Amino acid sequence: MEGMLSASDRQSMVSSFLEIAVGQTAETAMQFLQATSWKLDEALQLFYVGNEGGVVAPASESPAVENVDSWVDQNSGELKESGTSNVGTIAGEEVRPPLPVVRETLYDDALLYGASSLGLPPQQSGSLIAFRNFDEEMKRPGVWETDEGSSSTVDAPRDNLASLYRPPFHLMFQGPFEKAKAAASVEGKWLLVNLQSTKEFSSHMLNRDTWGNEAVSQTVSTNFIFWQVYDDTSEGRKVCTYYKLDLIPVVLVIDPITGQKMRSWCGMVQPESLLEDLVQFMDGGPRDYHATLSHKRPRGSSVMPQQKIKVSTDETDEDKEMLRAIAISMENAERL
């Protein structure tokens, strides 16, 4: 496309670039336009993506736009000379060769800079930024936080999509399973466990529809200690083994005192159904539950001692009657 553009066309595109990218030099505009084969929209997009990651710094000196003519004429001369030599001369002065088209490299570098701002390591592929990898990002709470300092409109739809499936960090207990169980026992609340899988989309649906429901969120935060874990972590495998869980995702109500599984739901659970099933656990905590059990045991065992006592009294009366009858019969025998 470079060969098809005239000098005036290039000058117009450079001017348009500088009108949008305020404060940049004509040299910067030429670099980005050449890198994108003189496609203005792609050059601007590349500029803003790279500038957001710190690739392009604002120019300290901004030449006037009128100097664009000299840049365009100089570049045209370089393009004509590039077929036979990498370095050309104009008016006896040596000039640098034209920049090669490195569009893929520039995009990858810029995206890797953007990845670091989202909490991802630079060595990960840039495709994670264009299409969010929820399997990996869900393991890192920081990756769900939106960069408030970013003004790029390109990131807005991506951040909105990520926020839909954000784990309920405001509800979650931070720590291992045993500490969550101990905290629930101290506070006298049931332990609500959500075991998730990064391979099951229903796990993300639970975050979006169930834990994101306002009524469910208020109910859980008030009456339960909520603990969420992934099945491929050490804590998740421990819980799967102990409770013999095969289907993921699963929601459990755990007695924090004994560790007993009181209730379970497998797969996607609608918020209305979950609220209805949790009502029975909101009437009383685990302490009330165990207190009720302890009161029931003496009633059932108190009947047996009374029966034993009654039986032993009856046997004593019968013995006395027997001895009295024997004594009377012996007196009658002596008289005869």
Concatenated DSSP letters of 10-38 = HHHHHHHHHHHSTT--HHHHHHHHHHTTT
Q: Distance between CA atoms of 50 and 40, rounded to whole angstroms? A: 15
**Per-residue pLDDT at 166:** 86
Which phi and psi angles does 93 have, rounded to 5°? -110, 135
Q: Half-sphere exposure of residue 183, counting CA atoms within 13 Å on the CB side? A: 16
Q: How does pLDDT run across 35-71, given as a tens digit for each residue? A: 888 888 888 888 887 665 444 444 444 444 444 455 4
Helices (H) and strands (E) in the chain, counts: 15, 6
**Per-residue pLDDT at 2:** 56
Mean per-residue pLDDT pooled into runs of 10, the chain (336 residues): 74 88 87 86 82 47 45 49 47 68 49 41 40 45 47 52 82 94 95 93 92 94 95 94 93 94 94 94 90 68 41 52 68 62
Give the amino acid at 38. Answer: W
Answer yes or no: are the C-beta atoms of 24 and 18 closer than 8 Å: yes
CA distances from 217 to 104, 109, 211, 222, 269 (A): 45, 41, 6, 9, 14
| DSSP H helices in 172-213 | 177-187, 201-205
| The pair of three-digit structure tokens given for residue 129, joined into one six-digit string | 């930024």
Q: Distance between CA atoms of 34 and 26, rounded to whole angstroms? A: 12
**Per-residue pLDDT at 3:** 60
Give the amino acid at 190. Answer: W
**Per-residue pLDDT at 66:** 45
Catalogue all structural domains in the chain, each as residue range(s) with its CATH number.
7-95 (no CATH), 103-164 (no CATH), 177-284 (3.40.30.10)
**Per-residue pLDDT at 280:** 92
- DSSP H or E stretch at residue 192: strand 190-196
Which among 205, 199, 195, 186 has a CA at the least distance from the CA of 287? 186
**Per-residue pLDDT at 221:** 94
Q: Distance between CA atoms of 244 and 81, rounded to whole angstroms? A: 74
Answer yes or no: are the C-beta atoms of 7 and 75 closer than 8 Å: no
**Per-residue pLDDT at 161:** 65
